[in-house]
Amino acid sequence: MMGRLNYEHEAHADFDDRALTHLQIVIMAKLRRGEPFMFTWINDAREGGGRTTAWLHPKADLVFRFQGSAHPDINRAWIEALTEAANSPAGLRLLPEPTATPVATASR
């Protein structure tokens, strides 16, 4: 299911609901702390392609609209990777979801 992030009535980006949930967690955590940052996304080819970069700040008008009503499980490793990107000079961008690392089991 595809959700949408609307920014300042000027720009929008469509993301899978699962990805948008993870982006929302990272974005809102930074904004609650008063930390502005850049967010870059790839534009849909149907809208001309290219990329958009927005300066997100605590007073920005953001709307996260999800197509589905279910809350996906949260991947902590993905949150950490996205947060690291958001804290970098290049800013936040959607990264591929890391696969879960299997828990090592003791030998018998």
In a structure prediction context, what are the per-residue pLDDT tens digits for the chain, which is 108 residues long?
788 998 878 889 999 999 999 999 999 999 999 999 999 999 888 888 899 999 999 999 999 999 999 899 999 999 999 999 999 999 999 999 998 654 444 443
Domain count for the chain: 1
- Whether 67 is in a domain gets the answer yes
Phi, psi of 89 (to 5 degrees): -60, -30
- Whether 106 is in a domain gets the answer no
- Whether 101 is in a domain gets the answer no
Model pLDDT, residue 100: 64
- Whether 100 is in a domain gets the answer no
Integer Cα distance of 52 and 33 in angstroms: 24
**String of DSSP letters for 28-72:** HHHHHTT--EEEEEEPPGGGT--EEEEEE-TT--EEEE-SS-PPP
Residue type, 65: R
Is the C-alpha dihedral spanning 3, 59, 42, 74 positive or negative?
negative
Q: What is the pTM of this model?
A: 0.86
Q: What range defines the domain where residue 8 resides? A: 2-93
- Whether 98 is in a domain gets the answer no
